Each structure stands twice: as structure tokens, then as C-alpha cells.
Amino acid sequence: MATNGSRPDSQLIALRDPRSPAAEAYRTLRTNIQFSSLDKPIQTLLATSTAPDEGKSTTLANLAVTMAQAEQRVILVDCDLRRPSLHGLFGVSNEQGLTSVILEQDERSLPLQEVGVPGLSLLASGPLPPRPADLLGSRRMEALIARLRGEADVVLFDTPPVIAVTDAAVLATRMDGVLLVLQAGKTRRDRAREARRLLEKVKANIIGVVLNNAKLEAGYGYYQ
């Protein structure tokens, strides 16, 4: 568990304490992403990991806040249709979201939610479907990604671990870039290699690895 309280935004250090070293680390990540592809800016970016609880959602949510703080229009999309958590992080509901748009073929406005950060909106998971990978690989999903591209400068997608299920790999093929979140002292080297192999197999553009120290330094210099 996080050691930093139980407020809905307690994991959002970029919001809670923008002057902390951790918030600074997220700004460095933002800059590195910008520089990773100068000719073709990364507009769609997915985060995944090797195993559960490595800090994907926390990292992506803080990155989203940090990008919005730099006056980019950011949409955060919860594509973890197995253990969605972004709505909880921001203290909003996931009754409406990604799956409602896809299943209802909703042509009306997207159920984007304001989360108290100017420039940032959240498309929560919506009700959980029986076969997430099919939904994420569907034509409708492709159309939704195109639509989201039209509504923001950057669209960030949260997913389940890439080794356990195919969801992240399915979606990775449609992204400009992929971030692999590993946890120092916990992620096994062979698993990191396996995650990379699975992503390379689908020709994903892995633009970087984020080393999350959550469990290693919990209690003092966490969120690195």
C-alpha cells in the first residue's frame, strides 16, 4: 500500500507536492518523452508492466497531471478493463467510460470527466466487459483512438500487465509509443525481457522504461 494517506489524490504527488523530487522526476519523464521522437511527436502513449502492482496507473496518472501542468490538453484513458483504478485515483466514478462508448456505439459526446486539473480529462473504464482483449482490438476501438487524437494533444492509455494477458499488446500496435514500468528490486530480469519480447513481436514502439521504486523505498524517498 501507499504510505501517503487515503485522500483520493494521495498518489498524485505531481498534484499534491509539485516541488517534490518525485514531481521533478515526472517532469523529467515528460521531457524525455518529448525528446524521444522529435520528428513525429508521441500523441498516443501506453503504459504497461510485467506483473501487477508495479505502479503503471500511478505513474501514468502523475505523468498526465505533469503534462497538463505544461498546458497540454491531455486525456487519460483507463484501458485496464480487468482492474481499472484511474477513476479511484481521481475520486470519480467509472460507471460511464470506454466500454460504454464502444458497446453502445455512442456517437454523442464522450463521457470524459473533469478531475480538477485544468487541461486533463479522464475516460474511465466503464462497465467491465467479458473479453477485454476483443474489445480493445476492435474496429470501434480503433475509431475511438482516432477520435481521442482529435480532442487532445496527448492521449495516455493505462493497461493490464503485458505478460498475463494480451490486452496491452493488442493496443500497443495502435500507439505512437509504449512505456514499460518496472519496479526496482521486484521486477525479475527474465520477466522484463519477456515483456520486451512480447511488445517487439507486435512491433510496438517502446520509447522507454520507467523504474519505479515504490516498494524498495516506501516510507522515505518513494515515487522515484
Ligand X SMILES: Nc1ncnc2c1ncn2[C@@H]1O[C@H](COP(=O)(O)OP(=O)(O)OP(=O)(O)O)[C@@H](O)[C@H]1O
Binding site for Mg ion (CB under 5 A): 56-57, 85
Stretch touching ligand X by CB under 6 A, among 78-86, 98-106, 108-116, 187-195: 78-86
Q: Residue 169 has what DSSP assignment?
A: H
Task: Say which residues have a Cβ less than 8 Å from residue 188's Cβ, sequence separation at least 6.
Answer: 50
Q: Residue 223's binding partner, choosing from Mg ion, ligand X, none, with beta-carbon cut-off 5 to 8 A by kind?
A: ligand X
Interface positions, 6-65, toward ligand X (CB under 6 A):
11, 49, 52-58
Site string for ligand X, 125-164 (x = CB under 6 A): ------------------------------------x---
Question: Residue 11 binds what, of ligand X, Mg ion, none (CB under 5 to 8 Å, by partner type)?
Answer: ligand X
Q: Which three cell numbers stand for residue 44?
A: 498516443
Angle, helix 56-69 to helix 21-36, in steps of 10 degrees:
80
In the bound state with Mg ion, the residue whose beta carbon lies nearer, of 53 and 151, is 53
Helices (H), the chain: 13-16, 21-36, 56-69, 86-90, 98-103, 132-136, 139-151, 167-172, 189-201
54 is in the binding site of which of Mg ion, ligand X, none (Cβ under 5 to 8 A by kind)? ligand X
Minimum distance of Mg ion from residue 10's CB (angstroms): 15
Q: Report how far residue 30's alpha carbon sits from residue 26's, in angstroms, rounded to the nearest whole number.
A: 6
Q: Are 129 and 81 in contact (CB under 8 A)?
A: yes
Q: Which residues of this chain interact with ligand X, rule CB under 6 A?
A: 1-2, 11, 49, 52-58, 80, 83, 85, 161, 212, 214, 218, 222-223
